[in-house]
Amino acid sequence: MIRQILVSIGVLMVFTGQSLSEPKSGYDFLKAETKEMQDDDFLNPGIQAVDEGRELFNKPGANGKSCASCHGEDGAKLDPKRIAMYPVFDKTLGKAVTLQQRIHMESEGKLGNKPMKYDGKDALKLEVFVRHLARGETVNVQTDGDMAPVIAKGKKIYETRAGQLDMSCAGCHVYYPGQKIRANVLSQGQGNGFPNYRLKNGKINGIHSRFNGCYKQFRAAKKKPGNDDYVALEAYVMSRGNGLKIETPAVRF
């Protein structure tokens, strides 16, 4: 009787909610050759974006100041642990902010630059450069306090079916990591490698654009990168990977 109860509790613990017993990076689902490509900075096609991002970071903006003016040459004064906490709750703005949103706000507000396109080439180069400073740092997104409602909103979007094909993020990434759709292995859909370099499209991809890519595949309407729903979704996706290491720029298929 006691054994049956203990087994039932064990089974319930495995299947309850969306909690991952062990978050695994997309790296763990790669073929050996792709892992090698990511691990070697001379082979990783995403490293070019780090260099280009560094140039943008040090370059003077419209009012003569550069990111480096306050944050140090090559971002020396930026705190990798803080970078690893994004998206964070900004008390002044009263809402959650993604790392790329922060970059846009600083570029326009502090440097007087014209707005960049969210997930556009320059914005991504800067985000890759900044996140790369935190490479190897542990993802640590806040999920309680002010962030609790944001995470809850993101979790709801993650679990909601959409599109003509009626699928959800959770459908693939919670229940079927390791299984294959045709020849493609499904991962847990973690965010620790973003912005990443995808072999499939030969370029750097931001996480909001990736959300659109997935939604397109199940014939759902896309949303403009930078919108509030995707900020909440990014917060939730990043928080699922709390404990993983930042790998930006990751190499993925």
Partner 1 sequence: MRKPIDRRPARRHLLPLTLAAAVMVMGTTTGFAANNAYCDWEMKNHSIDEPLCGLKGNAENGRKLAIARKKGNCLACHAMPIPEHDFHGTIAPPLNGVGARLKEGELRARLVDIKQLNPMSLMPSFYKHPDKLHRVAKKFQGKTVLTAQEIEDIVAYLKTLTD
Q: Per rule CB under 8 A, is residue 59 in the interface with partner 1? A: no
Residue selected from 220, 232, 246, 251 as contacting partner 1 according to rule CB under 8 A: 220
Find the binder of partner 1 among 45, 80, 120, 163 (CB under 8 A). Answer: 163
What CA–CA distance (Å, rounded) separates 42 from 161?
A: 41
Radius of gyration, CA atoms only, the chain:
19
Q: Is 67 a residue of the active site?
A: no
Contact with partner 1 (CB under 8 A) among 31, 117, 200, 222: 222
Angle (CA) 140 47 223, round 5°: 60
Q: What does the DSSP assignment read for 95-156?
A: EEE-HHHHHHHHHHHTT-PPPPPTTSHHHHHHHHHHHHHTTTPBP----SGGGHHHHHHHHH
183 binds partner 1 (CB under 8 A): yes
Is 36 among the residues that bind partner 1 (CB under 8 A)?
A: no
| Binds partner 1 (CB under 8 A): choice among 19, 63, 179, 227 | 179
200 in contact with partner 1 (CB under 8 A) = no
The bridge status of strand 251-252 relative to strand 196-198 is parallel
Catalytic sites, residue numbers: 214
* Chain contacts with partner 1 (rule: CB under 8 A): 160-167, 171-172, 175-176, 179-183, 186, 215-216, 218-222
